[in-house]
Structure 1
Amino acid sequence: MYLPRAFADHDPAALDALIAQDAFITLVTVVDGVPTVSHLPVLYRRDGARIELRGHWAKPNPQSTHTGPALAIVHGPHAYVSPSWYPDKEEASRVPTWNYVVAHLHGTLERLDDEASLAAIVSDLTAKHEASVGQAWEFEHERDSHRALLRGITGFRMLCDRVELKAKLSQNHPDANREAVIAQLGAQTSDASRAVARLMRATLDRTTDPVAGD
């Protein structure tokens, strides 16, 4: 990923927050020079520098046979930024851009085929997301009909050894420009635009000077 110094974020807590907001990843593998991509909900766990993702594919998915190097992309909020919002738009010849947050997690993928691992993945995912919608459906391992569902999936675990977290939030602009963009995005009807405005505010509050270059 193209990652200018101004936009690199090395705070593990920022990654935690990004995935907590939306743990639906793009998983990329390459076999014989051909990329394969899946879009999947995952379970995320970080213990210090150790990061683990767990999830599952439908068994017919070609990626369910893959192991080895993989890339998991975590998508954060993003929003268009108009150059008309910048106070210095004329003298600095500003142009349109896009602000966003994204993380690339590089690591090693392994398949999980045993019933206990598959049951744990389904149960944990279900518990997490049922609670988020105020429901209480449970995977019941002791039921034959529920165990039969496991035959249709293949699980995976990905151990991540490198993280690239990019927060492109106008850090390379003067504070006046950043304040103006925050105000404009905060006034938009889009949830994503307002989320970017909140991230920009948090970033600006941590710094006082524009970051040069990049």
Structure 2
Amino acid sequence: MYLPRAFASNDPAALDALVAADPFVTLITFVDGAPCVSHLPVLLERDGDRLALRGHWAKPNPQSSHTGPALAIVHGPHAYVSPSWYPDKVAETRVPTWNYVVAHLHGTLERLTDTDDLAAIVADLSAHFEAQVGEDWRYVDDDTHRSQLRGIVGFRLHVERVEMKLKLNQNHPDANREAVIAQLGAQDTDDARGVAQWMHEALVASRAGDRHGS
């Protein structure tokens, strides 16, 4: 991923927030040079310095047989930025851009086929996401639910390298950033408001850093 220094982040809390907000990732593997892609919900696991993503495929999915190197893309909010929103530039020098948050998690893919592992994945995923929608479906460890586990294959992506890009006008003066935050925050889409929130937090953090460095 093209990652200018101004937009790079290595903040674990930011990554956790990104995955929590949008845990539906793009998982990419390669076979004989050809990409294989799945779109899957995942759970983020941290154990000290170790980081992993856990989820499952449908067994007929060709990717369910894959192990080894893999890439998971975590998609955050994104929004168009009009150059007309910048207050401090000559009109002729203003150009449009696109602000966004994204993370690439590179690692090694492990297949999980043990029944207990599969049951834990389904139970943990359902408990997490049912709570978010105010429902209470749960995996029950009985013969009916265990028989349905035969239709899936689990995975754990052991993350070895993280590239996180926060493209949020950090290369602009504060006045421009504030103006874009206001414009995006007033829009009626989750993506625009999400970018505005990330921009606001980045601006607050940069100002705090400036104060501590002075």
Give the shorter-chain TM-score range. Answer: over 0.9
Matched, 1:121 2:121: yes
Q: CA deviation at 1:162?
A: 0.3
CA contact (8 A) 1:9 1:165 kept: yes
TM-score, reference length from structure 2:
0.94
1:111 is matched with which residue? 111
1:3-82 superposed matches below 5 A: 3-82=3-82
Structure 1 regions of 5+ residues with no counterpart?
Answer: 210-214
Give the match for residue 193 of structure 1: 192
Amino-acid identity (%): 70
- The one-character-per-residue Cα deviations of 1:147-195 (angstroms, maximum 9, x if unpaired) are 1110100110110010001000000011111111011111111111111
Q: Which residue of 2 aligns with 1:151?
A: 150
**TM-score of the two chains, using structure 1 as the length reference:** 0.94
- 1:212: which partner in 2? none
SS in 2 for 1:202: helix
Task: Tell me if the contact between 1:175 and 1:208 (Cα under 8 Å) persists in the aligned partners.
Answer: no
1:77-131 Cα offsets, whole Å, 9 max, x none, are 1111001111134256121110010000000001111101001000110111111
CA deviation string 1:41-86 (max 9, x = no partner): 0111112321011100000000001000000000111111001111
Structure 2: any 5+ residue segments left out of the alignment? 209-214
Deviates more, 1:187-196 or 1:163-172: 187-196
For 1:202 and 1:67, the matched residues in 2 are separated by 37
- Distance in 1 (CA, whole Å) between partners of 2:61 and 2:153 is 9
In structure 1, how many angstroms separate the alpha carbons of the residues matched to 2:134 and 2:61?
A: 30
Instruction: Please state how far the C-alpha of 1:10 moved relative to its aligned partner.
Output: 1.1
Aligned CA-pair RMSD: 1.3
Give the 4+ runs in structure 1 shifted more than 2 A.
88-92
Q: For 1:167 and 1:54, how far apart are their aligned partners in 2? A: 24
Alignment partners' CA distance in 2, 1:18 and 1:162: 16
Three-state SS of the structure 2 residue aligned to 1:79 is strand
**Secondary structure of residue in 1 paired with 2:181:** helix
- 2: CA distance between counterparts of 1:9 and 1:103? 9
Q: Distance in 2 between matches of 1:117 and 1:208?
A: 45
